[in-house]
Structure formats: structure tokens, C-alpha cells
Structure 1
Amino acid sequence: MQEVRKEARERMKGFCRVCKECDGRACAGEVPGMGGLGTAASFKSNVEALADYKLRMRTIHDVSEPDPSTKVLGYDLSIPVFAAPIGGVSFNMGGKVSEEDYIMSKVKACDANGIVGCTGDGVPPFISEAGFDAIKAVNGKAIPFIKPWEGDEFFEKIEKAAATGCTTFGIDIDAIGLITLAKMGRPVAPRGVERLKALIERIPGQVLLKGIMTEEDALAAVEAGAAGIVVSNHGGRVLDHTPGTAHVLPAIAEAVNGEIAVLVDGGIRTGVDVLKMIALGADAVMIGRPFSIATVGGLEEGASKYIQQLTGQLKSAMVLSGCESIADANSNMITDVLGQ
């Protein structure tokens, strides 16, 4: 991974510094690019919120071979991780790797290592087209995310996505604030519950809504017919000064009460971070920037190495917290920054 990160740092020069600690400080305000919007307070809050929680270390138990696998949204996962839908290599990551090679490598690595990759959408159209090709290559075992475009474009892309054989369709409703789309003259409008419900009813599969940060929106997603949500502030790239996702996750998971799947992203870097988010109430996590860095730095092999690293870290954290399976992870395993 050191070699992969070294190569990524060279290829992403001017767009991402591949910092030792990916916390949003060095890249504040660099959007387009890999940074956070404005002061990057939201990006930084994601990392800080996760750091506020600590795992309770336990060493007297019989857990020597923990099982990190789980099932979420019908997918059998070797670890509770999805690769988040990040695209736009040319304007976010330096362009030294093509969009097609990037997304194909990431999705194939996920499939080969027993997890699920997600593909992105945006302007220009080759972002979504490259994603659809990648999903076909893994026989539909990936999730295409499509922005809630106005007019015919949304359902035209849904139709193309359905042709890949996928069973889940993601809608990143947090894209309504993306400055990159606004700069390209393609802002995306929000939708209320009834319009969202009408949208979901026309989609030929289960729907995952990304961009939920409150209990009210989580319950609205349930009402609209979503199969799952992603607790997300879009990596701090759409609204400055939001809370970190780890801070809002427990209340959202409690409000949903198991009615739909709850995923979360934001600041997750290691297997320890994954376990913390599961203990806080998530069914699985999405990881964005680290997957992009690993893929740009080493294509399919780089992304695979990162997944294997996550798996090792997660299993180690499970042993050292006495957690035998993902289903056993709960709030009793963690304390907050005050030790409570």
C-alpha cells in the first residue's frame, strides 16, 4: 500500500496530496478536486466525529476467528463495505488514469474481494457510461448512482443502468448542492416526499438514497419507499459546517429501527473505523477517497490491496474488542471521547 500511495501521489499531483492523514486540512476549499467545500469544516467534522469514539478493548474472551461477513440489501459481503460512487477522474483526480480504467478497476476489485462497488454519475456523460460498462463486466454486482436530474435524463439513465443487470439503484440526493454541476450549468433540484415516491415507484429495483443527515429525512426516505439510505454529507463537498456523520448516525439508526438498511460514509479510513460505524448503528459503510487513491495508484491491484488491508484491520479490531460477528457489534463496544 505504501507503493500504491506513492504512485497515487504522483498521478494525482495538484488534485490530491495523498496525505498521511486524510482529514481535509491540506485540501480545504479545493472543489473540483478531492477537498471539502469552503472551509472544509464538514469534511474535517467527519474525521473528528469518528475520532470522538473509542473501542473498548477486551482481551479475556474466546473470540479468535471473528466473522466479518454480513448481508446487506441482498448482497453477501465479505466485510460490511461498499466502495462509494466517486467519478470524474479528469477534473477531480488529475486525469493520469482514464475514467474507464479507473471505474473498471475499482468495481472488478470489489467483486473479486467479495464486496460491492458503486459507480458515479455527472457531467460529462462518459462518467456514467464508463460505470455502466464496469457493472456489466461484473454481471450486475455493483450499484449505479444516478443524480435526480429533471426531465427525461433521469429515466434514460435508469434504463441504461437496468440493462447492466444490477438490482439496486442509488440516487445521490445530496448532489443538489454540488458546485461542480452548477459550474457546468447542470444544477440538480431537490424533491419532496411525494415526488421522490413517484420517482422510486418507476425504478425497476430497490433504491438506495444517499445524503441523509437527519432523522426527519431518514423517516421521509422510509415513507418514499427506499430500501436503504446512506447517512452522508457528500464527503463535505456540498454544505460547509455540517456535523460529522458518526455523530448523527446513532439517532438516525434508532429512528429507522431496522425498517430499511442504514449505510454511512464520511471519514472512514481503516477497519477500526468500519467497526466503530457498525457499533454506532450502521449495517454497512461506504468508503470514498481511500478507494479512489488506491485505484488511481494501483488500478485493480491497488484497490484489492486496500480491501485486503481493511479486512485485516477489521478482523484484528474484532478480536481485540471481543466481537465474534458483525451482528454482535453494538454500542456497548464503544465509548465517547469522555470515556462514557
Structure 2
Amino acid sequence: MDIKEVKANAREKMKGFCNVCKICDGIFCSGKVPGMGGTGTGESFKISYLKLKNIKVVMRTLHNVTEPKMNIELFGQKLSFPCLGAPITGTKFNMGGGVTEEEYCHDVIKGAVDAGTIGMIGDTGDPTCYEFGLKAIKENNGMGIAIIKPRSNEEIIKRIRMAEEAGAIAVGVDVDGAGLVTMKLFGQPVGPKSFEDLKELVNSTKLPFIVKGILSVDEAKLCAEAGVNTIVVSNHGGRVLAETLAPCDVLEEIVEAVGDKINVLVDGSVREGVDILKYLALGAKGVLVGRPLIWGSIGGREEGVKTIFDTLRNQLNQAMILTGTADANSVEKRIIVK
């Protein structure tokens, strides 16, 4: 399959939920939550796209970088490039039902493995979504990460145990899901976490612990102090709070504050390989990609997901060559202009 075929198939199957727009800027799907859009006016989604788009790369072609090093190590695994699959659930109420939840989980986890990277599974009000995700991880020798909603600590730890049993390589909580509309619709209580709550969760498992949904230096420092292994700088795709900062607004200062203590990943509007390079130049160790994997699964199942990852990797390789970037583990800030 190629990327055009995957997108065309997805567009046909996702009518009314996602138009698979040529420019994925959050306008068509604005306010569609549940669905594929940003919450409220959709401004948080739109701002994340625009802010990242307005960062430009400086082309350099007088150098000897012809075969950039793209692989990184994370959670004890060697990845083919610094891009992982973001945790996403709700194929019926968010994506239009083009694939089942079980099919989607399989596609993302196996497609990521086939591409030499790692996929994440998510959690939602329907417990079968998380269960299908764990099944996919177990079927792929544990090559997957389980991200859990900010429920009570008791409920989170129960789900951590399930992830451990499935052999997951890491677990975490997307704390920015504290006000998620879809959880409220299912009558599932979620909310903020105190520093003591966070420490309890970190200490409840020997697996690397991830906190997804950090947008400030002070909370990044709290995560480091609590013993968190990895944070994801994220505004939950603009799907939980209108008028939030874009991840690229705060990423650089967060990396400066805690980047020598914990892994800092980021997500938000990654649509091309050059977007990954921009985030790496701001200091991220790697990125999460979400929406394109939905297109991949619905438009081409497991092969479609692999096609998305392969396309992003090839685009990143080209962008690294054309900016003189030799190593994805050491990207210079001078290659971008804000």
C-alpha cells in the first residue's frame, strides 16, 4: 500500500467523523468530541497545528550527512526512529466504526512492531477497549505500552497489574484525561492527581512509568521528583480544554528543566516527518503520532499502520539529510526558526 491509498480508503469509511483533510488543521472536525475534533471551538487543536506549522526548518546541503542515524533507545528497546504510536480508543464513538476496537488495537500494536517501533493502547469508559489493547500487546510478546485514564489509584493499579500480566514494556497515566467528555458520558470518575498519588503509582510497579499530558515546567519537575521515567508534553490533542498552550510552546523550557533527569516525549499535530524533526530540535527524545494511525488502521489495517510509520520515517530521513542532521539523538536547535 502507499499513503495515498490508505488515506483514500480511510476518507471513504470515516465520512462524518473525519474528512482526512489534505491540511489536517482541526477546522472540519472542530468541536466534534466525541468524534475526531478539538473540544469547544476546537482552538486548542487548531493552535497546536498552527504553532508547529509556524516553526520552519533551515535547509543546509553543504555537508557530508548522507545516511543519518535514526534509531533511538527507549524503555530498553531499540526503535527504528523516534516515533511511537499514541494511545487512542473509541472506534465506534470517535472514529465511525470503520474497524472494531479489537481490530484497531491489533493494527496499531502489530503495525508498530512491523515498523520497528512501539504502539500504545488506551483506556476509556468501555472496559473492553483496554482489554483488547492488552490482548494485542500479549500477542506481540509484550511490545506495547498501556496508558490508563486518571481514575482512582486503586483502579489504576488494578489496570497496571493487568498490563504487567500481558507483558507490557511500560505503563502510564494520561493525566490530561482528567476532564475528558467521553469518560463522563460513560459515568467513569476521573480527576487530577496529587503528588502523593503520583508517587504511589510510580512505586506500585517495576515497569517504567509514563505521565502523559504535561504542559508546564512545575508539573514536569513534580514528575521528575516522583520518580517518573517519562513524560509526554501534550494537550491531549486539544480534546479536553479549549485555549490551552500548544505543546511546542512549552517543550523547550520543559526539556531544559528536566531533560537530564527523565525522558521527554511530545505529541500534537505530527503529520509529516519534518514535524518530528522540529520537535527533536526543541529537545524531545521522541514523538507520539495519533490521528494518522487511525487513518492507517481504517484505511489499510495493520499494513496501513505500517505504511504510516514507514512514510514518516522516510520523510524524517530526507529532512535530516536536507538540514545536515546526522543523529536523531542529537538534533541542533539551529536547524529551526520560530
| TM-score, with length taken from structure 1 | 0.97
2: CA distance, partners of 1:43 / 1:82: 20
Report the CA distance between 1:328 and its aligned residue: 2.8
Give the AA of the match of 1:281: G
Equivalent pair of 2:125/2:187 in contact (CA under 8 Å): no
State the match for 1:235 in structure 2: 237
1: CA distance, partners of 2:337 / 2:244: 22
State the match for 1:9 in structure 2: 11
2: CA distance, partners of 1:189 / 1:308: 37
The reply on whether 1:52 has 2:54 as its aligned counterpart is yes
Report the CA distance between 1:53 and its aligned residue: 1.1
1: CA distance, partners of 2:222 / 2:153: 23
2: CA distance, partners of 1:257 / 1:109: 29
1: CA distance, partners of 2:325 / 2:228: 30
State the match for 1:257 in structure 2: 259
Report the CA distance between 1:155 and its aligned residue: 2.0
Query: Could you tell which deviates more after superposition, 182-191 or 218-227?
Result: 182-191
The reply on whether 1:42 has 2:48 as its aligned counterpart is no
State the match for 1:156 in structure 2: 158
Query: Could you tell which deviates more after superposition, 70-79 or 33-42?
Result: 70-79
The reply on whether 1:328 has 2:330 as its aligned counterpart is yes
Equivalent pair of 2:124/2:182 in contact (CA under 8 Å): no
State the match for 2:196 in structure 1: 194
Equivalent pair of 1:67/1:325 in contact (CA under 8 Å): yes
Equivalent pair of 1:210/1:230 in contact (CA under 8 Å): yes
Q: Cα RMSD over matched residues?
A: 1.0
* Match 2:96 to one of 94, 97, 106: 94
* Match 2:222 to one of 220, 223, 226: 220
Q: Deviations over 1:208-257 (max 9, x none)?
A: 10000000010011111100100000000001001111111001111113
Among the aligned pairs, what percent are the same residue? 44
State the match for 1:175 in structure 2: 177
Report the CA distance between 1:38 and its aligned residue: 0.5
Give the AA of the match of 1:249: L
2: CA distance, partners of 1:160 / 1:112: 24
Give the AA of the match of 1:308: D
Equivalent pair of 1:119/1:143 in contact (CA under 8 Å): yes
Unaligned runs of 5+ in 2: none
State the match for 2:299 in structure 1: 297
2: CA distance, partners of 1:322 / 1:288: 28
Moved segments of 4+, more than 6 Å: none
Report the CA distance between 1:151 and its aligned residue: 5.7
State the match for 2:141 in structure 1: 139
Unaligned runs of 5+ in 1: none
SS in 1 for 2:28: coil
Report the CA distance between 1:43 and its aligned residue: 0.5
Give the AA of the match of 1:255: A
2: CA distance, partners of 1:85 / 1:152: 21
SS in 2 for 1:211: strand
* Match 1:127 to one of 108, 129, 143: 129
Q: 1:151 to 1:316 in 2, by over 3 A?
A: closer
State the match for 2:167 in structure 1: 165
Give the AA of the match of 1:154: I
The reply on whether 1:271 has 2:273 as its aligned counterpart is yes
* Match 1:30 to one of 29, 32, 46: 32
Q: Deviations over 1:126-171 (max 9, x none)?
A: 1100100010111111101111211632222111111111131021
| TM-score, with length taken from structure 2 | 0.97
SS in 1 for 2:92: helix
How many residues are treated as equivalent by the alignment? 336
* Match 1:84 to one of 81, 86, 90: 86
State the match for 2:210 in structure 1: 208
Query: Could you tell which deviates more after superposition, 205-214 or 161-170?
Result: 161-170
Equivalent pair of 2:45/2:238 in contact (CA under 8 Å): yes
Report the CA distance between 1:57 and its aligned residue: 0.5
